[in-house]
Chains A and B, each alone.
Chain A
Amino acid sequence: MSTKAISRSTAAGRDEELIPRYSLGERANHWLGSLAYIYLLMTGLAFWSPYLYWMAAVVGGAPTARFWHPWLGLIFTVSLFWMLKQWHGDMRIDDNDRAWAKAMPDYIQNRDDELPPTGRFNFGQKLFFWGMLLSVILLLLSGVVLWYTETLPWSLRYVRYAAILIHASVALVTIGLFLVHVYMSTILEKGSFSAMVHGYVTRAWAWTFHRTWYYEVTSGSRPRPRQ
């Protein structure tokens, strides 16, 4: 692990030296969740609007989409709970996050040097994570009702009425979270996407965006993610 990092660093200088950020398991789970979510998004949007019904055709047709959507939902749920297991320590919200939350406008306006240094994940990432986790719980509960809608007796129809609204509203919230997440990690914050693919970031990246974490991993006060 370190031999790889060092050998790459000699050519590119110390700032460009790579340090491991996401373990193989973390990356695998992230992409499992992402693929499941993209399927859920496309089929869900197909059921949401006639103008987006074609999206179901892209992934194999609407009846097939109706069949797989709940199963992919289960996979997405499992992925998120696995993520919880992997990241619950790093996702804990602390006093530093409260300071960071106050400085959020600076983050949005790219004045990153005004922000308090952050650990492995910043407050925005934590909000995204906990938002998704809470959403997936609500989506799962309402989704089961929609999955087996026909088995609910007429006397429990209000459960269906609630489920249909909850499922759509919460899905919209996740779409908002998803859009921001994809935007930030692919085009806004250079280096984030490849970190989730290859597992490594440069020292400069870590120093710029997650300074506390950078000091921790480089000083050896926390173990590096296993690749």
Chain B
Amino acid sequence: MSQASTEIIRISGHAGSVPGAGLNREFQVCKLVDTTTCIGCKACEVACLEWNGYTFSETTFDNTYQTMPETAWNYWNLIKFNEHERADGSMMLLMRKDQCMHCEDPGCLAACPADGAIVQYANGIVDFQEQHCIGCGYCITGCPFNIPKFSPEARKVFKCTLCNDRVSVGLEPACIKACPTGCLHFGTKPEMKELAETRAEQLRNVSGFADAGVYDPPGVSGTHVIYVLHDAKNPELYGGLPKDPHIPYSVRLWKGPLKWLGNFAMIGGLVGLAWHYMRYGPKNEEPIPPDDRRRV
């Protein structure tokens, strides 16, 4: 959303150089969501709306705690509820704060054709710059987490900014501020990773969650939002968190081999036609021979 003073290391649809390419910053930011201590109070949702200036959206009722099916263009942060029955028949309410994961390898940015519509800052934040967005929706296809959402009025796409405007002036994201249980943390990636691993270990050794672990998917080279899960072997249980997220193969094929093949073919085609003309020249009409038998 907002322009920050942070260095930019990646730009969507960009043909030239990138100001911060190759930059090595001391810290990469990270948000840690500990799903095991989330109580589903939705304070983070409200804080997000307040900070970003959106009003509360109408809720839906589907016989569960889920207030709306997924995030929206003007609702970037949503708790996903899942009433999960465990093997021993006991019940667990799994709650996960869903928002942009700020992938280290962002599929949205890879798919975007508009110069500067999506940027990645050196601190890891992936941010949409709506003034450059053309509303094609390719980012929706590129994202493995179902995050970018299209606003029909603006004809542009919006998503969580990781409070880039706050972070760039040294504040925590709004959601972190609001969380009453302290299940949300914000800091550098190594710090958050360590804290998450410590918590996961505690869950495994003390709380009896043998499969507890940290969700920082390597398929997108890690994310700048990480989760502690009771059952890291089945992330799908947490409101459809993908097990092995990666940029869709078709997007990679399209932006990789197909692009090279296509460019090569187009340039080769032009060269080939020019060669043909020089080698064989034009086709000229020939005079009709006077003895043409079928002459009419």
Chain A residues in contact with chain B, CB under 8 A? 14-15, 46-51, 53, 62-63, 65-67, 108-110, 112-113, 146, 149-150, 154, 157, 160-162, 164-165, 168-169, 172, 175-176, 179-180, 183, 187-191, 202-205, 207-209, 215, 218-219
User: In the bound complex, what is the Cα–Cα distance between A102 and B29 (angstroms)?
Assistant: 65
Interface status of B84 (Cβ within 8 A of chain A):
no
A165:B149 contact, CB within 8 angstroms = no
13 contacts between A and B (CB under 8 A): A53-B13, A66-B136, A67-B135, A109-B280, A110-B283, A149-B137, A149-B141, A162-B250, A164-B138, A165-B253, A172-B261, A179-B269, A204-B286
User: In the bound complex, what is the Cα–Cα distance between A23 and B225 (angstroms)?
Assistant: 64
Stretch at the interface among B57-65, B172-180, B288-296: B288-296
| Contact for B280 among A14, A108, A207, CB less than 8 A | A108
Residues of A near B150 (CB, < 8 A) are 149-150
Interface status of B277 (Cβ within 8 A of chain A):
yes
| Contact for B277 among A157, A179, A188, A203, CB less than 8 A | A188
B263:A49 contact, CB within 8 angstroms = yes
Chain B residues in contact with chain A, CB under 8 A? 13-15, 70, 111, 113-115, 133-138, 140-141, 146, 149-150, 152, 155, 240, 248-251, 253-254, 258-259, 261-263, 265-266, 269-270, 273, 276-277, 280-288, 292, 294, 296
| Nearest Cβ on chain B to A33's Cβ, whole angstroms | 20
| Contact for A160 among B14, B141, B270, B282, CB less than 8 A | B141
Residues of B near A203 (CB, < 8 A) are 288
User: In the bound complex, what is the Cα–Cα distance between A63 and B155 (angstroms)?
Assistant: 9
User: In the bound complex, what is the Cα–Cα distance between A62 and B155 (angstroms)?
Assistant: 12
Residues of B near A215 (CB, < 8 A) are 294, 296
